Amino acid sequence: MNLALKNSDSHEWRSIATSALHPEIVYVSYNGLKINADTTCIGVAKSEDYGKTWKLALRDCLFSGGYKYSENYKGGWIDDRFGPTWGENPFSIGVSPQNPEVCYTTDFGRIIKTKDGGNTWEQLYTKRKDGAGWTSNGLDVTTGYSVVFDPFDVNHMFFTNTDVGLMESSDGGASWMSATNNNGIPRAWHGNTYHLAFDPDVKGKAWAVMSGVHDLPRYKMWRRNGLGAFNGGILVTENGGKSWKVISQQIGEAAITFLLIEPSSKKEARTLYACAFGGGVYKSDDGGKTWKLKNKGIEGTEPLTWSMVRRTQDGVLFLVVYRRSDNGTIGTDQDGAVYRSDNGADSWTKMNLPSETNCPTSLLIDSKNAHYLVLSAWGRSSKNRSDQNIGGGIYISDDEGQSWKQVLHKDQFIHDLTYDSRNGRYYACGFSSSAYRSNNKGETWVRIKGFNHKLGRRVDLDPLNPELIYISTYGGGVWHGPSKGDPDAKEDIITPVLAY
């Protein structure tokens, strides 16, 4: 391209497209285009003469100490928070076959359009709410873990995410803003918030676990380089998230994925438990000021401790440890596990799992029956069953895990379970284009019609209405809708409709 600085390093072409009926019009995505000694550009170039000459139709400029968006571009929340390098230059371009003035581009977070041949561009994925944050146009790419409500203000919500970190809403989810910018959170941890828990008795106080490692507990995150470089930690806020303070210095850098508050502990010095993925369980008896490793009885040197649950009837703790290998084997030191502790994590005892299961993902206890457990699991491949997975789905036990019965097997990849004590209803969500509910203690499950995003993470409860739920997704934002589903919903993913 003749627009680059002479003798500058070569630049990248990522995608190219033309109009089917106007092939002389060409758009190309570029990166690393150096136009002067201090400025490198990324964006979209356009040619109107089959590529003989070019102009930079969309030009985001990167320079020492900062950046400047293309003057002809109207941006959204990703641009506002992260700058042009987060989404990068487009990896896909589409041009109208009839009208070459109309062009769409997509990158790692945005959809951008021009309708005047690149003279002006606008994003299509979000819009700004007057006097508030950003709201969705239905084209989200955020990957969520949970929706968390402030117990003292139901309109104050957080959405824990990977890649974009913690998001906050002050208007009941009508609009959202980033909650990690210049407020005490280490920059290296901005991208991923795995869990947040409010103190039930102290207004404005909450703990969160954040990391530079995204997409846990997916196997891809450690299969090549192990867990040695995992980073992150635990933070506390005393003012509802306006500012945060790191409190895990004693633990050191670790990918913390879950934090549990002991509700019976004194509010001046809470007992806390934290799961370090690849490190084990840590406990604090002073609200997080000091921490002790509590791994007695947990097998392995780098246990993938994922989450915990506390039984309300007697305070017994249950720990979910994720599987290390994804090769389909079972009965090795790569298996996941469930442990229980009857002494506040001083020691742990390994529990039975269903015979074909080695990757538990979550565990729930019925609030009216301490012996009744519901377990979700991630399936594994079976060499004896062509193209089928086993060991996943949902299981129930009425004897504290001594024996298990499988109650959902068609969906082998359940990520999380949720229990609503208001009505005794259970919910499940996973990676097979479906979410489910059960009104009979998990004995049978019904697909929630209307939710059909392929990768569901977790169902969270609407505190104002037990007939509404939130569903976090892996790559599709957070959904809000009827807990019984929508019988009139138009389905656009065939597989779950036929199977369930």
- Residue indicated by tokens 């969309």: 58
Structure tokens at 54: 């070019």
Is 37 in contact with 112 (CB distance < 8 Å)? no
Is 426 in contact with 419 (CB distance < 8 Å)? yes
Task: Give percent of the chain above pLDDT 90.
Answer: 89
Is residue 1 scored above 70 in pLDDT? no
In angstroms, the CA 484 to CA 467 distance is: 7
Q: For residue 500, what pLDDT band results from cuts at 50, 70 and 90? A: low
In three-state secondary structure terms, 294 is coil
- Residue indicated by tokens 């991208």: 191
Average pLDDT over residues 126-137: 94
Q: Burial code of 307-342, b = ≥16 C-beta within 10 A, e = fewer?
A: bbbbbeeeebbbbbbbbbbeeeebeeebbbbbbbbe
Domains, the chain, ordered by start:
12-124 (no CATH), 134-499 (2.130.10.10)
In angstroms, the CA 465 to CA 336 distance is: 36
- Residue indicated by tokens 């007695």: 296
Partners of 15 in beta bridges = 29
Which of 150, 176, 132 lies closest to 241, judged by CA?
Answer: 150
Count of H-run helices and E-run strands, the chain: 3, 41
CA-to-CA separations, 385 to 49, 327, 379, in angstroms, rounded: 57, 14, 13
Strand-pair category, 271-276 with 256-262: antiparallel
In angstroms, the CA 24 to CA 20 distance is: 9
Q: For residue 369, what pLDDT band results from cuts at 50, 70 and 90? A: very high
Structure tokens at 102: 């109309």
pLDDT in tens, 46-91: 999 999 999 999 999 999 889 999 999 999 999 999 999 999 999 9
pLDDT in tens, 175-220: 999 999 999 999 999 999 999 999 999 999 999 999 999 999 999 9
In angstroms, the CA 381 to CA 384 distance is: 9
The whole-number pLDDT of residue 498 equals: 54
- Higher-confidence residue of 273 and 65: namely 273
In angstroms, the CA 279 to CA 305 distance is: 7
Max CA separation in the chain (angstroms): 76
In angstroms, the CA 385 to CA 94 distance is: 42
Is residue 160 scored above 80 in pLDDT? yes
The whole-number pLDDT of residue 12 equals: 86
Strand-pair category, 73-74 with 121-123: parallel
With 0.85 as the threshold, say if the pTM is over it.
yes
Is residue 385 scored above 90 in pLDDT? no
Average pLDDT over residues 424-438: 94
Strand segments (E) across 115-203: 121-123, 126-128, 134-136, 143-150, 153-162, 167-169, 177-178, 192-198
Q: For residue 382, what pLDDT band results from cuts at 50, 70 and 90? A: confident
Is residue 105 scored above 60 in pLDDT? yes
The whole-number pLDDT of residue 426 equals: 97
